[in-house]
Amino acid sequence: MNAKQADKVATIVLYVIAGSVILILAALLGYILIQGVPHLSWHFLTAPATAFTAGGGIGVQLFNSFYLLFITMLISFPIALGAGIYLNEYANQKSRLTGLVRTAIEILSSLPSVVVGLFGFLLFVVQFKLGFSILSGAIALTFFNLPLLTRSVEESLRTIPNLQREAGAALGLSRWETVVHIILPAALPSIVTGIVLSAGRVFGEAAALIYTAGQSAPALNFADWNPFNVSSPLNIMRPAETLAVHIWKINSEGIMPDAAAVSAGASAVLIIAVLLFNFLARYLSNSLYKRLTATK
């Protein structure tokens, strides 16, 4: 076979590979959407789940997923922000200690989420007696989320030119004042993108949650907004099965007759949510950037 023939064969092979990958991915998305979307209805999205009979919904799980996401972000964003600021603005970039800290963060990001979940279980559920609760789950998800979010904050800050820091310094502003009032607002579009993208990841995470937020979804009273009441949706000490955990649960031990349909519907919701997070990230980053440079 000469070079030209080899070139032809290789091109065909590459087309076949790319084609089959597209096929696999399209089949994947198509399957979930075709199986799941017809199952979506207002009832399905709002009704509580049933254990033994068909016709259950995912209302409580859906709420739990969003609420847990919210609490997780509430805890993890300030920490990631602080850590990102220190790493990019204060830390001596050449020192070994900084390198070591960066390595530690990288290791945390590469830990299997099930290990992070087990650690959360051991320390918070058992040792600190928080039980299976939204709080335990949010802490576990925070550990899972921190490395990526920190890195994204750090990278967002890095894109702001040093000229801006020098501008602040030359006016007698401290590094902190410059960062808070000049650098952060300028980095906001990309920080927000990072938050939303990480939210998509947190939203779909299950392994870190099965032993922290728990695998049960007690009925909620959506009329009771006192966070200290047991059945209040806002209570952070209640166990809370999320959508992703629900999909796992009914597929590994579900006994309701329509488990497959419920999983398909729930999977479709998860994927649509991830899609929305992606679009939201793009949209927010664009519109914030426009506002930043607007001439008014």
Query: What part of residues 255-274 is at the interface with other proteins (CB under 8 A)?
Result: 260, 263-264, 267, 270-271, 274
Taking the complex as a whole, the smallest distance from the CB of residue 229 to other proteins amounts, in Å, to 27
| Long-range contact pairs involving 44-49 (C-beta distance under 8 Å, separation at least 24) | 44/265, 45/269, 48/217, 48/219, 48/220, 49/217, 49/246, 49/262
Smaller CB separation from other proteins, 52 or 92: 92
Size of residue set near other proteins by CB under 8 A: 108
Residue numbers 163-222 binding other proteins by CB under 8 A? 163-164, 166-177, 179-182, 185-186, 197, 200-201, 203-207, 210-211
Assess contact for 209 and 242: CB atoms under 8 A.
yes
Nearer CB in complex with other proteins: 20/229: 20
For residue 122, CA distances in Å to 125, 147, 208, 214, 228 come to: 6, 21, 12, 13, 25
Among 38, 55, 99, 112, binds other proteins (CB under 8 A): 112
Q: Which residue's CB is nearer to other proteins, number 91 or number 234? A: 91
In the complex, least distance from residue 61 CB atom to other proteins, rounded to whole angstroms? 12
Shortest spacing between CB 50 and other proteins, in angstroms: 19
Q: What is the DSSP letter of 165?
A: H
Number of H-type helices and E-type strands within the chain: 11, 0
Shortest separation between residue 193's beta carbon and other proteins, angstroms? 13
Binding test (CB under 8 A) with other proteins, winner from 73, 157, 195, 244: 244
CA distances (Å), origin 75, targets 96, 138, 160, 245, 287: 29, 8, 25, 21, 26
* Identity of the residue, 107 or 222, whose beta carbon is nearer to other proteins in the bound complex: 107
Per-residue burial over 242-273, b = 16 or more CB atoms within 10 Å of its CB, e = otherwise? bbbbbbbbbeeebebebbebbbbbbbbbbbeb
CB of 79 to other proteins, least distance (A): 5
Contact between 129 and other proteins (CB under 8 A)?
A: no
Options 21, 23, 54, 230; binder of other proteins; rule CB under 8 A: 21
Give min distance, CB of 42 to other proteins, in A: 23
Contact indicator for 285, 189 with CB cutoff of 8 Å: yes
> In the set 37, 40, 47, 108, which binds other proteins (CB under 8 A)?
108
Are residues 117 and 209 in contact, defined by beta-carbon separation less than 8 angstroms? yes
